[in-house]
Homo-oligomer: A and B are copies of this chain.
Amino acid sequence: MCPVDQRTRLLEAALFAAPRPLALDELAVLDADATEDDWRRALGELRDHYEAEGHGVELGEVAGGWQITTLPIFAEAIERAAFAARPAKLSAAALEVLAIVAYRQPVGRAEIEDIRGVSCGGVLRMLQERGLLDVAGRSEGLGRPILYATTPLFLELVGLPELSDLPRTDELAVALRPPQSPEP
């Protein structure tokens, strides 16, 4: 057994939980009784422990701070496994924007925001990045706003041959139309 010091354990926990490298002077908050030298010693002990015990991680100095990272020799295997993300699900907000575009395309951002009553710039950008929406042109209206439409990938994902195969197109396309100002 080669147990490590209590302060080293706290250091490991803090470095693990922190979303960025931690600088030496930031560690002070963790334990008022410890000096910078104490932390230096703890960092050394943790680094040595990882090396000696054969871990999958190491302690490195990056960007002016300290961070635990996985060993490069395992990078390929981890990359292959691609655990990075769960099969991405669209948020309720994203689905709603997508639904409006699907039934009302081509449609501008203002019109979508009018229907949902909230702004949706971020959602539109995300849906564009995910390849579900694309710019379909510009409206003739004031400022010539960008118009959005769904992509072939969208049809593929919902398993439809054509846009006209969307359920209840007639009814929903009308219902989703925002209130128009009365004709003069």
A-side residues, CB < 8 A to B, are: 1-6, 8-14, 16-20, 22, 26, 29-31, 49, 52-57, 68, 70-71, 74, 77-78, 80-81, 83-86, 89, 91-93, 125, 128-129, 131, 134, 152
Question: Of the candidates B30, B52, B91, which one forms a contact with A77 in the assembled complex, judged by CB atoms under 8 Å apart?
Answer: B30
Do residues B83 and A10 form an inter-chain contact, with CB atoms below 8 A? no
Tell me whether A89 and B55 are in contact (CB under 8 A). Answer: no
Asked if B70 and A17 sit within 8 Å, CB to CB, the answer is: yes
Q: Which of B52, B81, B93, B129 contacts A14 (CB 8 A)?
A: B81
User: Is the beta-carbon distance between A11 and B56 smaller than 8 angstroms?
Assistant: yes
Q: What chain B residues lie within 8 Å of A14 (beta carbons)?
A: 56, 74, 77-78, 81, 83
- A46, closest chain B residue (CB): B56
List chain B residues, Cβ under 8 A from A16.
Answer: 56-57, 68, 70
Within the complex, the shortest CB–CB distance from A27 to chain B, in Å, comes to: 8
In the bound complex, CA of A81 to CA of B17 (Å):
11
Contacts A14-B78, A78-B17 given; indicate if A53 touches B53 (C-beta within 8 A). Answer: yes
Q: Are B18 and A74 in contact (CB under 8 A)?
A: no
Bound-state Cα–Cα, A128 to B89, Å:
11
